[in-house]
Chain A
Amino acid sequence: MPIPTPFHAKTSALTASHEWSNWSGFLAAVMYEPYHEHEYYSIRNSAGLLDVSPLYKYEIKGPDAVFHADRIMTRDITKCEIGQIMYTPWCDEDGKVIDDGNIARLGKDHFRITAADPNLRWFQDCGYGLESEVVNVSDELAALALQGPNSRKILKEIVVGADLDKLQYFWLTEAKIDDFPITITRTGYTGDLGYELWVHPKQAERLWDIIFETGTNYGLSPFGLAALDMARIEAGLVLIEVDYNSSHKAVIESQKSSPYEIGLGWAVKFGENKFIGRRALEEEKVQEPEWTFIGLEIDWVDLESLFSRKNLPPQVTGRASRAALPIYLQSDHIGQATSITFSPLLKKYIALGSVRTNAAKIGTPVKLEVTVEYTRQAVDAVIVKPKFFNPKRKRSLGTDE
């Protein structure tokens, strides 16, 4: 049975849809209103607030903390400055991804990691022989993601002791809201301008109220997982158990993926760092990975014509779909779309997925399986970069605007 997060009193009062999901054992609103479109648009048009407390949070502390974190992460943690955050996968000895998340350097010998899955045992085991400790701080931190073009304006009105105009993308700052301490990270899972706010759970409800008091003037809306899923597909962000499987959970070898195969090759660094899986990944990089993470743009006119043959208007998933669909090149099955959504913003039907590397060239015309009135059909689609939406504001400073 899922349990409430520290924001539950606030979120449950607003969840008119009564639609909840189980996120790592916590109750997470799928949508607040009867339909999620307004929540989705709040992320892109004004500002949206998401309870991200169910994330697992760990801290690594001690004189060997840098070395410890660097053993785990494929990014070069030795280069992570105090106050900086790195998004990174972590792998097993074979270079297969276990999970992905953010690692924030809170101090010289102090890191905080967010993860989708429980990772305490793995993180502790990785520190064998080191003078450092891993602590699960999940219950000590309540977290909200404030995302969208107006998120900075809202925070600027309520935060004391931090210059948010200067806070860079993937950096953090300590600050105060209403006299309680808060950590603000310029991170999120929407691909938009946004922040994540970390407080002690006893401040959770107060934080929620303060954000809403000001946020209402900026079109703030709470949003649930349905809207989040659409936004993260537009932004081309992978989701564990949907776009890839943790190598710790895979039951057959082919279910595992390397970072290269899920679009995270950029986060694998072969510098001074020595991480678990490095040797395997160095080899794979030379050889070319088997799979490539891609974006797919589905041809709307072709989709319309498939439906109109049945005398129907095109029917697309109202929400993001996680039911994987096969992708074909001529008659060859070359891969699968794993996350599919209609983007109301871009007016395009888009997908994320994986295809065999030899068929992954951008611009390749392919076919995607769709079901039209109970019959299987194939709709025209084209392989594109897996990043459909990437606004300047995501990275820009307040002082630039």
Chain B
Amino acid sequence: MNKYDAIIIGGGHNGLVAAAYLAKAGKKVIVLERRHILGGAAATEEIYPGFKFTVFSYVVSLLRPEIVRDLNLPKHGLTILPLESTITPLPDGDYLYRDIDHHRTLRNIARFSERDAEAYEEYSRSMYFMAKAVKYILGIIPPDPTSLKPKDLLGLLEMSKHFLGIGEEQFFTLFKLMTMSSADFLEEWFETDPLIATMSASGIIGTFLGPRSPGTAYVLLHHYMGEIDGVFRAWGFAKGGTGAISNSIAGAAREFGAEIRTNAPVSNVIVKNGKATGVALENGDEFLADIIISSLDPKLTFLKLVEENDLPSDLVESIHKFKIRGSSGKVNLALDALPDLSCIPGPGPHLRGAISISPSVDYIERAYDDAKYGEISKQPYIDVIIPSMIDPDMAPPGKHVMSCFVQYAPYELREGTWEQRREELGDNVVNALSEFMPNIKDIILHRQVLSPWDVEQSIGLSQGNIFQGELSLFQLFFLRPASGYAKYNTPIRGYYQCGSGTHPGGGITGTPGRLAALKILKEIN
């Protein structure tokens, strides 16, 4: 009999984290994944023979250290290699290069503005306080501010104490981050356009907003919550791509006794008398459990897996309104040789870091202008890394893979369909790259283009939104994904959520999976 303590729908990284924590606590757990491989958006696939693509997500910073420790992920193969630099090539042949060499970074910024070089240090210090302040948020289940339950009131009190305790200056900075646009926020500190542009790009990733749209500073902050080895804001590349992160979590989950099945698409959650009792696969197989956890996005969790009749109408309405607009695409390239940057020709450590096509704030804002009206950005913002420079096993010796995260690629096009226009996105990316890497067109062996529509088709993320819903203040914390249902719960008894559509949101954090599992364990034990 297919009877379990808990069934997890979706083998993305959060589903796997939830499974591992539940299995570690002795529960009989099964993960059901629709695709042939695990990982959801954290997957590595050999798309072209010999070349491994970190197909969707590509870097890691936000994965919580407590999860790495609790699940002993290094034992299961997790190795996070440092990603130490960012280079922003400029149209005039110049460049802005920031790396782990502190003084060199300051000298490089000072070439543009001596004031900015000094501000850079102060900014880093300020962001340290911000990361420290929000780290607290990453460890708690959001209290409901409208509830009068003692637990919620206590939670709110603790939270206010925490935030009032961070100091006046920090509190105001935090408030600005919550409300401003990333460009405006950064312009309070800096005057160098390429610096502001590149830094503000962190504020637009995964959102359907431009660097000058209010609210993007929060997304900037979200990207600053990362912590590797006790160092805030450190970024890394998982050896083997982000799929290796998923596989290491799956390895831990299996060691704790969890069962994991691929090629097992769930069609719906079985609900009887307001209680979830199991799931049915598309092939009709049924699995039973008292606890069903969906790691899928809120649209699928509430509007596809269960009947709307089983939900209160106000929840149905808010999930319909939940903003999950896909805005980004991904272009993965198999390369015959290393790309040559015209600003720093030849190989070098700068190719082991990020290459940011973000020469100015206007450049990114114009890319957004296209998307606002349903167009693919003609000159897109691109965040490039060359995984094979960091982990040579990603490509055959001497060959390379290149991962290009692209914005903007609106899910809804004004004209045509993504099936018709997909390659246009690829062309725009390659053309934009060739401005700064003259040899790029000659070295491409294979090109994989993923529009948000393709992302939705392949891994199921609604509208291809990488965060399972935009990271806007109006759908964060106790509003993620909807008021009253931000504690990983649903109105259906025994039915829970643990995806990035819940607190604290997207990125490879593992936190939704962990917090959901801990909450469930508390409830049932």
Contacts and interface: CB of A to CB of B under 8 A. Distances in A.
A218 interface: yes
Given A34-B101, A218-B397, A347-B74, A313 B352 contact: no
Contacts of B159: none
A150 interface: yes
A342 B229 contact: yes
Contacts of B389: 219
Interface in B90-119: 100-101, 104
A208 interface: no
Contacts of B74: 345-348
Interface in B333-363: 347, 349, 352
Contacts of B100: 34-35, 37
Nearest to B82: A37
A218 B397 CA distance: 6
B214 interface: no
A316 B65 contact: no
Interface stretch (A39-47, A137-145, A166-174, A285-293): A39-47
Contact of A347 (B101, B229, B232, B392): B229
Nearest to A33: B349
A218 B392 contact: yes
Interface in B53-93: 65, 68-69, 73-74, 79-82, 84
A215 to B, nearest CB: 10
A150 B79 contact: no
A38 B68 contact: no
A107 interface: no
B232 A46 contact: no
A347 B69 contact: yes
Contacts of A219: 389, 391-392
B398 interface: yes
Contacts, number: 62
Contacts of B101: 33-35
A46 B392 contact: yes
A226 B427 CA distance: 45
A300 interface: yes
Contacts of B231: 313
- Quick one: which of B101, B239, B347, B392 has the most chain A CB within 10 A? B392
Contacts of A313: 132, 230-232
B392 A44 contact: no
B392 A150 contact: yes
A342 B230 CA distance: 11
Interface residues on B, range: 20 to 34
Contacts of B79: 41, 44-45, 345
A305 to B, nearest CB: 13
Contacts of A300: 65, 69
Nearest to B396: A217
Contact of B239 (A34, A45, A315, A347): A45
Contacts of B69: 300-301, 347
B6 to A, nearest CB: 26
B82 A217 contact: no
Contacts of B82: 37-38, 41, 344
- Quick one: which of A218, A313, A348 has the most chain B CB within 10 A? A313
Contact of B397 (A217, A301, A315): A217
Contacts of A218: 392, 397
A216 interface: yes
Contacts of A101: none
A265 interface: no
Interface in A343-360: 344-348
Contacts of A37: 82, 84, 100
Nearest to B236: A344
Nearest to B338: A216
B104 A34 contact: yes
B230 A314 contact: yes
A200 to B, nearest CB: 29
Contacts of A216: 347
B61 to A, nearest CB: 14
A388 B349 CA distance: 30
Contacts of A35: 84, 100-101
Interface string A297-310: 00011001000000
A347 B64 CA distance: 12
A216 B74 CA distance: 26
Interface string B388-409: 0101100001100000000000
A14 B479 CA distance: 53
Nearest to B102: A34
A313 B79 CA distance: 22
A217 B398 contact: yes
Interface string A125-141: 00000000000000000
- Quick one: which of A44, A46, A301 has the most chain B CB within 10 A? A46
Contacts of A316: 229-230
A45 B388 CA distance: 12
A144 to B, nearest CB: 19
B112 to A, nearest CB: 21
Nearest to A303: B230
Interface in A155-179: none
Interface string A4-38: 00000000000000000000000000000111011
B308 to A, nearest CB: 44
Interface in A278-334: 300-301, 304, 313-316
Contacts of B397: 153, 217-218
Given A34-B101, A219-B389, 14 more contacts: A34-B104, A35-B101, A37-B84, A44-B79, A45-B391, A46-B392, A300-B65, A300-B69, A313-B132, A314-B230, A344-B80, A345-B74, A347-B68, A348-B74
Closest 10 CB pairs of A and B: A219-B392, A217-B397, A34-B101, A217-B398, A314-B230, A35-B100, A346-B74, A37-B82, A46-B392, A347-B74
5 contacts: A33-B349, A34-B101, A37-B82, A313-B132, A346-B74
